[in-house]
Structure 1
């Protein structure tokens, strides 16, 4: 994938993050901490339903895309089974019209349940349609599909503020659901040729069985991964309060700025690495990419440790602790992204059960950690437990991948990830006490990283100069 295509894919996460930095403070000033916590429960449900009802076939679509000639048929075979099961499940749940709202929000209201159902269906369909743009390397369309819903959410919240609308959960839920539905409509429009062509295609049962065999372990792996990412919120709700859940959710939302790296990398990495594997090449390239991603991860952790205090100027006073929580909350997006570079052997060898095992072990560890730490530290305990669990998840994926594929250099990988995770734990649990002394730690790690990766930094600098000169026409770009 060329730098131009990568840049087009980056527009969406970057624009979404920038819009998020505008929208999130508005929401914290306008809506209650409890309602923000309740909305996070809907987001947990959305992620669960997408992972579970996909049946692992979304990953099968990515894996088989470059090896099939009939891509519309591939789309139908991977989308339809999960969608049918999802619709059937929701129909049963709606027999009690207040069940979902009571379960998620502790508020019995049929209209809240209906909004959740609409969001679930739209989110599921959007997941598969986004893969079409991703695999066809349509970066600009993919990015616009991410930015437009953020703009809609910002506009709706702005209208609420201007007209003095009620600061209620239903209004906040309407805004979020509308944004999700817009995502789905935009994806439908941008991929209309593909999904319209798929309508007339037949489902080949034998082929579907093969893909289900590939994706079946991913169902359990997906459930374990959902537990790994959602246990903190679920246990915060049951062991603490909606206020602590709201505080934690805001911290996670700020840390989601790191998903710029995660989203862009994950979008371009899977198609690229499978293309390399199909040609029987790419091991040295994979090692090189791993070092670049490690460099980015360490730098982002260090910058968060040095400048997280900035968020206190954007939020109400009751969100002061966000500056400490956000550092550990970076563990999910950044360590997961790093693990994507080291786990490729599992995908290439089709040993998806090992990925499932890594997720299950990390999930059990996270559940135990949250159970122990939340009653003591509240939201801070949840943040620390999740960060440590994702470090373990990264280690397991790396080692399992090596066991079934090729060895990779990992002294720098493990050394620097230990440094940043330990720093995050100390910052989150004892940041109030240690204060400015922590900045010395993060500065030392940052300087060490710059020295260790000086060759990569010089190479990045030279490539930026080359691309800049090529763009200006002073030299011809390399083909």
Structure 2
């Protein structure tokens, strides 16, 4: 993929994150901490629905795209089973007297139940439609489809403030549903040529069976992965309260800045590495990419450790603890991204059961950790448990991939990531007590990259110099 295409894919996540930093403080100032916690539960349900009802066929679409002769037919055959199952499930839940809104928000509301139904369907369709743009390397369209809804959300929230609209959970959910529904409409328009052709295609049931055999283990792996990313929020709701959940969700939202890196990398990496595998070339580059990603992970953790205090100037005083728990919240996006460079062997060998096993084992660790720590530490306990769990997830994926495919140097991987996680955990629990000592720790870690990654730093410096010369 050319630098121009990479920049096109990066535009959406980067600009979207910038807009998110505008929207998030506004929401914290004008909506209650409890309602922000309730909104976090909506996001949990959305992610759960996408992972469960995709049936692993979204990953099958990515895996088979470059080898499929009829790509519109591939899209239809991977979308339809999960979509039909999701519609049936949502229809059944709506039949039971607002069970959706009562469980999610502890509010008995038909409108909220209907809004949740709309947003779940929209997010599910957006997931599959976005894959068309990703795999066809339509970076600009992909980015604009992510960027415009964020603008809409800011306009709606800004309108609430200007016109003194009632700031309750219904209007907060309505703003988010409008943005996600708009996303779906944009994706549908940008991919209309592909899915319109797909509608006319017949379903090859033998092909569907082979895709399901690949995707089936990913259903359970997807559920386990959802548990990794959602157990903290669900157990905060059950073992603590919506206030702690709201505090934690704001920290996670700030840590989501790291998802710029995760989103851009994952968008580019999956199609590229499978293209390499299909052609049997450039496999040596995987090791080089791994080194660069590890370098980026170290730098981002360290910068967060040094400058997390900045967020206190953007939020109300009741969110001051966000600065401490923000750092372990980086564990999910950064360690997951790093694991994407080491897990290649599982995808290449199509042994997806090992991906499921890694997720299940990490989920068990997360469940036990959250159950033990949340009653004692609240949101900090959730952050610590999830960060540690994602380190184990990264380790398991790496070891399984090595077992299935080819060896990978990992001394530096495990040493640095262990130190980062330990630093993040201490920061979350004792950050206020040992603030100066922890700043020194993060600074030393940051400086160490100039010793252990000097070749990569030198190459980055040369690349920047060449880019400046071209611009001039």
Shorter-normalised TM-score: what interval?
A: over 0.9
Deviations 1:133-165 (A, max 9, x none): 000000000000111111000000000000111
Residue 236 of structure 2: aligned partner = 236
Give the C-alpha shift of residue 433 in structure 1.
Answer: 1.0
Match of 1:70 in 2: 70
Provide the residue aligned with 2:102 in structure 1: 102
Question: 1:311–1:322: 8 Å Cα contact kept in structure 2?
Answer: yes
Aligned to 2:315: 315
- Distance across 2 between alignment mates of 1:344 and 1:15: 29
Number of aligned residues: 472
Q: What's the CA shift string for 1:362-403, capped at 9, x where partnerless?
A: 000000000000000000000000000000000000000000
Matches within 5 A, 1:222-261: 222-261=222-261
Alignment of 1:53-452 (within 5 A): 53-452=53-452
SS at structure 1 position matched to 2:107 = coil
Distance 1:115 1:97 in 2: 15
* Stretches of structure 2 lacking an aligned partner (at least 5 in a row): none
Deviation at 1:222, TM superposition (A): 0.2
CA distance in 2, matches of 1:261, 1:148: 20
**C-alpha displacement at 1:407, in angstroms?**
0.3
CA RMSD of aligned residues (A): 0.7
Q: TM-score, normalised by structure 1?
A: 0.98
Task: Write the distance in 2 (CA, Å) between the matches of 1:230 and 1:184.
Answer: 23
Structure 1 distance, partners of 2:287, 2:471, is 29
Q: Distance in 2 between matches of 1:4 and 1:412?
A: 31
Who is 2:18 aligned against? Answer: 18
Q: Quick one: distance in 1 between partners of 2:238 and 2:221?
A: 24
TM-fit CA distance, 1:468: 3.5
Alpha-carbon shift at residue 449 of structure 1 (Å): 1.7
Indicate yes or no: 2:440 matched with 1:457.
no
CA contact (8 A) 1:236 1:244 kept: yes
**What are the superposed Cα offsets for residues 23-60 of structure 1, whole Å, 9 maximum, x if unpaired?**
00000000000000000001000000000000000000
* Separation (CA, whole Å) in 2 of partners of 1:31 and 1:345: 46
**2: distance between equivalents of 1:343 and 1:331?**
17
Structure 1 residue 97 displacement after superposition? 4.0
Structure 1: tracts of 5 or more residues without a match: 473-479
Counterpart contact for 1:374–1:381, Cα < 8 Å: yes
Structure 1 CA distance for aligned equivalents of residues 467 and 95 of structure 2: 59
1: distance between equivalents of 2:49 and 2:438? Answer: 40
Contact residue 97 and residue 113 of structure 1 kept, 8 A: no
CA distance in 1, matches of 2:281, 2:66: 16
Q: Once the 2 structures are TM-superposed, how far is the Cα of residue 463 of structure 1 from its aligned partner?
A: 1.7
- Structure 1 position 471, deviation (Å): 4.5
TM-score (norm 2): 0.99
What's 1:44 paired with?
44
Describe the superposition over 1:318-358 as per-residue Cα deviations: whole angstroms up to 9, x where unpaired.
00000001000000000000000000000000000000000
Runs of 4+ with deviation above 2 angstroms: 464-472
Structure 1 position 167, deviation (Å): 1.0
Give the deviation of 1:67 after TM superposition: 0.2
State how far apart, in whole Å, the 1-side matches of 2:468 and 2:70 are: 39
- Show CA shifts across 1:94-125 (max 9, x none): 11241100010011100000000000000000
Distance in structure 2 (CA, Å) of the matches to 1:66 and 1:385: 38
C-alpha separation in 2, matches of 1:172 and 1:424: 32
Q: 2: distance between equivalents of 1:330 and 1:285?
A: 26
Contact persistence 1:324–1:428 (CA under 8 A): yes
2:284 alignment partner, SS class: helix
- The answer on whether the counterparts of 1:331 and 1:421 sit within 8 Å (CA) in structure 2 is yes
1:194-233, Cα deviation, whole Å (9 max, x unpaired): 0011110000000000000000000000000000100000
